[in-house]
Chains A and B, each alone.
Chain A
Amino acid sequence: MLEILNITKRFHTLVAVDNLTLDVPQGEVLGVLGPNGAGKTTLFKLIAGFLKPDRGLIRSSAGAWPTIGYKPERLLYPNHLRVHEYLNMVAAISNLPRGRIKKAVSESLERVDLTYAADKRIKECSKGMRQRLGLAQAIIGDPQLFLLDEPSNGLDPEGQAEICRQIDNLHQEGKTIVLASHQLQEVTQVCTHLVIMNQGSIHYENQMKAALAERPHTRILVNRDLSTLQSLLMHLHHDIELSDREIVLNYDAIALRPNVLRILLSNGYDIIRIEQSRVTLAEIYAAAVQ
């Protein structure tokens, strides 16, 4: 659906995007994470065509126009217009026949639960309403590719959940979505594919499921200090970590869990808790941007 081949974008001496290659298949929800200044917004502007790459190629097979629904990071709108007037204009430039415009606008308002604000001036809309308006204008014209830059930025938890639901609905319809966000929970929830950028290049890329299945570990919490068993346990496997009252079995060492439990019980320890864990997105992110 979207193919990015070796693109580089410089602003004078700053390399904003550095030889980046990315393939986003049809129907994927790609989450782009990265610290501020990592090049996410530049990447979005390159895909949207606002910036021209110094090198490389961006190919999209999104089909009939309009190909892209774009929700920019900043919630800037023509504030003097009413919500429905703005959406009418977006619909009019989206190749919709005149007779379909009104219906398309009301459908998009309905989808983002903003019908009640159709006659409101945009300047009177709250931040949450403006975020939903951003999504409503992106939906109009049924584009196949969505670029959503910080879609739930500044929203309360309820608003964030609503945006997640909307993105999930678009995913169910088979749309391709590229999403930049600092909300790790949101990315974990809606994205099928994950990219972590730093300093203009990709530092981590994986399917979301595969990423979260990485580095499994088991934590065993006991009732007293483990120092007496330290040498015995550490010699069992190099992937065993020990702290005061906790043993962490990483990767292959997980298979040794029965042995470890047997040693602990035979030495008079009480098992307080056993926890099977996977790596979190926060951990993946921290490792990638370090």
Chain B
Amino acid sequence: MNQRILAVSAYLFRSFLFSLAGLLYILLALAYYMVLFDPRQLTPDPDYYILVLGLLGLALSFLVTLSIAARANNASHFPLIVRLPSRIEYLTAVFFSSTLYASIIQFVIALIALVANGPSLDFREYLLIPPLWISGNVLFAVLSLHATDLVTAGWSRVYVFATIGLLLYLQSGLDVLSDWLSNLFNQFGNTLLATGLDALATLAFDMANLFSEGSSSALGSALSLVFWPFKAIVEAAINGHFTPLQALAPAFLMTYAALLFVLAAKFFSKKDLFLSE
């Protein structure tokens, strides 16, 4: 399996490297460096260096995966796919080549930024970088797979990104939503009370009370837990080290990535392959 995945990955990587799109991402990354790490300006702080280059990695992982998956979604690859015992090997190769390509560009830009006018990082800060960047890159590459024609099956990409959008919206606007739902159930309870349905009215008031708890409710706690790894990573970067609890954050991100990859693999292995010509 390793030989097959490596062969397809190497082919996709090389094809992309020598393509116009591949070159474009290198130029974009250089432009990003020139704007945000201008050597003529003040030396950046370590947290700025870690987070801004981390963001570059996330963006590159997402965009490069979109591009490589688009190239992989070509009918010239039918004779290759038929030779793989499982389609998932092909998907793994797309993911692997994309993540590697984005990470290499990120690493090179990080090296240039460090040598040209970089902050002096201590040992703990150096240790912080690999798990933080790699977990983010992996997660965004897998997320990007769901946006591609290669993986999407039916409305799958709408479902995946709508769910993520909903979670983000709930997380940011939970208090507003809770107030609205609380008022709604209160009004509903009053209506039920007026019609003499006391038992149902009590249930509606209980629901109103539950929602009035807002971000401190069980839903709020669950959402906070979902988005905690991102918060923890930013805090760790600012502090320059992981606390024992924050050290789990990259592992959480890798778990999200694994779950999303399993979902992508499920879509890809069950769908009809209509590769573009």
B78→A72 contact, CB < 8 A: yes
Query: Can you give 27 A-B contacts (C-beta < 8 A)?
Result: A48-B78, A51-B273, A52-B271, A65-B85, A66-B82, A66-B83, A68-B82, A71-B79, A74-B75, A76-B74, A78-B15, A78-B76, A78-B77, A79-B76, A80-B18, A89-B8, A89-B80, A90-B79, A90-B83, A92-B6, A92-B7, A93-B3, A93-B4, A93-B7, A94-B83, A137-B79, A141-B83
B83→A93 contact, CB < 8 A: yes
* Chain A residues whose CB sits within 8 angstroms of the CB of B4 once the complex forms: 92-93, 95
* Total residues of chain B contacting the partner, CB 8 A: 25
Whole-angstrom distance between the alpha carbons of A95 and B80 in the complex? Answer: 12
Question: Nearest-CB distance from A58 to chain B (Å)?
Answer: 13
Which of chain B's residues 260-277 have a Cβ closer than 8 Å to chain A? 270-273, 277
Which of chain A's residues 129-165 have a Cβ closer than 8 Å to chain B? 134, 137-138, 141
B85→A49 contact, CB < 8 A: no
**A251 contacts chain B at the CB level, 8 A cutoff:** no
Which of chain B's residues 1-29 have a Cβ closer than 8 Å to chain A? 3-4, 6-8, 11, 15, 18
Tally A-B pairs: CB < 8 A. Answer: 67
* Chain A residues whose CB sits within 8 angstroms of the CB of B77 once the complex forms: 78
Which of chain A's residues 100-148 have a Cβ closer than 8 Å to chain B? 134, 137-138, 141
B75→A138 contact, CB < 8 A: no
Which of chain A's residues 61-92 have a Cβ closer than 8 Å to chain B? 65-66, 68, 70-72, 74, 76-80, 89-90, 92
* Chain A residues whose CB sits within 8 angstroms of the CB of B80 once the complex forms: 89-90, 93
Binding site for B on A (CB under 8 A): 45, 48-52, 65-66, 68, 70-72, 74, 76-80, 89-90, 92-95, 98, 134, 137-138, 141
* Chain B residues whose CB sits within 8 angstroms of the CB of A70 once the complex forms: 78-79, 82
Task: Give the nearest-CB partner of A137 in chain B.
Answer: B79
Asked if A49 meets B82 with Cβ closer than 8 Å, knowing A89-B11, A92-B4, A93-B8, the reply is yes
Question: Nearest-CB distance from B140 to chain A (Å)?
Answer: 27
Question: Nearest-CB distance from B118 to chain A (Å)?
Answer: 37
Question: Nearest-CB distance from A148 to chain B (Å)?
Answer: 11
Question: Nearest-CB distance from B267 to chain A (Å)?
Answer: 12
B272→A51 contact, CB < 8 A: yes
Binding site for A on B (CB under 8 A): 3-4, 6-8, 11, 15, 18, 74-85, 270-273, 277
Question: Nearest-CB distance from B277 to chain A (Å)?
Answer: 6
A138→B79 contact, CB < 8 A: yes
If over half of A's interface residues share one DSSP class (helix, strand or loop), that class is named, otherwise mixed; here it is: loop
Kindly identify which residue among B7, B15, B74, B78 contacts A50, using a CB–CB cutoff of 8 Å: B78
B15→A80 contact, CB < 8 A: yes
Whole-angstrom distance between the alpha carbons of A268 and B189 in the complex? Answer: 112
Whole-angstrom distance between the alpha carbons of A80 and B15 in the complex? Answer: 8
* Chain B residues whose CB sits within 8 angstroms of the CB of A52 once the complex forms: 270-272
Whole-angstrom distance between the alpha carbons of A70 and B273 in the complex? Answer: 15
Task: Give the nearest-CB partner of A88 in chain B.
Answer: B7
Task: Give the nearest-CB partner of B77 in chain A.
Answer: A78
* Chain B residues whose CB sits within 8 angstroms of the CB of A141 once the complex forms: 83
Question: Nearest-CB distance from B73 to chain A (Å)?
Answer: 12
B84→A77 contact, CB < 8 A: no
* Chain B residues whose CB sits within 8 angstroms of the CB of A92 once the complex forms: 3-4, 6-7
* Chain B residues whose CB sits within 8 angstroms of the CB of A49 once the complex forms: 82
* Chain A residues whose CB sits within 8 angstroms of the CB of B82 once the complex forms: 48-50, 66, 68, 70
Task: Give the nearest-CB partner of B19 in chain A.
Answer: A80
Whole-angstrom distance between the alpha carbons of A70 and B79 in the complex? Answer: 6
Whole-angstrom distance between the alpha carbons of A65 and B15 in the complex? Answer: 26
Task: Give the nearest-CB partner of A49 in chain B.
Answer: B82
Task: Give the nearest-CB partner of A78 in chain B.
Answer: B76
A74→B277 contact, CB < 8 A: yes
Question: Nearest-CB distance from A97 to chain B (Å)?
Answer: 9
* Chain A residues whose CB sits within 8 angstroms of the CB of B78 once the complex forms: 48, 50, 70, 72, 76
A76→B83 contact, CB < 8 A: no
Task: Give the nearest-CB partner of A143 in chain B.
Answer: B83
* Chain B residues whose CB sits within 8 angstroms of the CB of A89 once the complex forms: 7-8, 11, 80
A50→B76 contact, CB < 8 A: no
Question: Nearest-CB distance from B6 to chain A (Å)?
Answer: 8
Asked if A50 meets B272 with Cβ closer than 8 Å, knowing A76-B277, A93-B4, the reply is yes
Question: Nearest-CB distance from A176 to chain B (Å)?
Answer: 15
* Chain B residues whose CB sits within 8 angstroms of the CB of A94 once the complex forms: 83
B83→A50 contact, CB < 8 A: no
* Chain B residues whose CB sits within 8 angstroms of the CB of A90 once the complex forms: 79-80, 83
A76→B273 contact, CB < 8 A: no
Whole-angstrom distance between the alpha carbons of A51 and B74 in the complex? Answer: 15
